[in-house]
Amino acid sequence: MVYDADIGVLKWFERALAHANPEVRRSAVGLLGVVDTPRRGEWLQRAEGDADPTVQAAAVLAAVEGGSPSLDLFESDFALDATGDDLEWQWEYLIRVTDGLYVPLSAHLVWLSCEDDATAKSLAVMKAGRPGARGKRDVALIVSKRLVNQYTRSARNMYEARQWHHYGRPRYQDP
């Protein structure tokens, strides 16, 4: 779960969770399952008392999802001969860019050589095609952030995804 205390993100959640449309409230509560903020607990409690039962259910699921730790094991975790330079470590961000209060289902992948949330968010807004004045009112929400290498990262484009599907992911060479 990614912790985000950006004031723009906090204001967006506040507006979305107080919106009259239950679909907007439900999508915002769903994002609280993967995005942690200083007021997350308070917002989930408020959503559990919402008049709409789908918002209440989403709040319970978000609380359960946010409280469950996960441990991903990758091939690189067992590569004893590989050094840090060989693995080409990068930060991989999965970011959703809102369109006002609407949260699209699509997300944008951004890779950076160092951990920099602000740069990753601005790159995701550019990838969403909303730079300039319109991009300033939209909010980029970091859904996940992880340290990856050339063997554990996600596919960078559709061609690479098709190649991996057909031939398999890149693997370490046996010594």
Q: What is the pLDDT along the chain (175 residues), one digit of tens a residue?
A: 678 888 989 999 999 999 999 999 999 999 998 888 889 999 999 999 999 999 999 998 888 877 655 555 555 555 555 555 666 788 999 999 998 888 888 889 998 989 999 999 999 988 888 766 565 678 999 998 888 887 778 888 888 888 888 887 776 555 4
Q: Which of 39, 67, 95 is the last residue of a domain?
A: 67
| Dihedral (Cα; 66, 14, 3, 24), 10-degree rounding | 50
Chosen domain end from 30, 48, 67: 67
Q: What is the structure's pLDDT at 77?
A: 53
Nearest to 91 by CA among 144, 41, 146, 143: 146
Domain limit, last residue, from 45, 67, 89: 67
Give the rounded distance of the alpha carbon of 150 from its chain centre: 20
Angle of CA points 80, 86, 90, to nearest 5°: 110
Q: Flag whether 72 is in a domain.
A: no
Q: What is the CA radius of gyration of the chain?
A: 18
Domain coverage including residue 134: 78-167
List the 108-112 sheet strands across, edge first.
Answer: 108-112, 90-97, 140-148
Please indicate, yes or no, whether residues 41 and 119 belong to a single structural domain of this protein: no
Burial class (CB in 10 A: 0-12, 13-18, 19+), 112: middle
Q: Tell me how far apart the alpha carbons of residues 132 and 49 are, in angstroms, rounded to a whole number.
A: 38
In a domain, 122, yes or no: yes
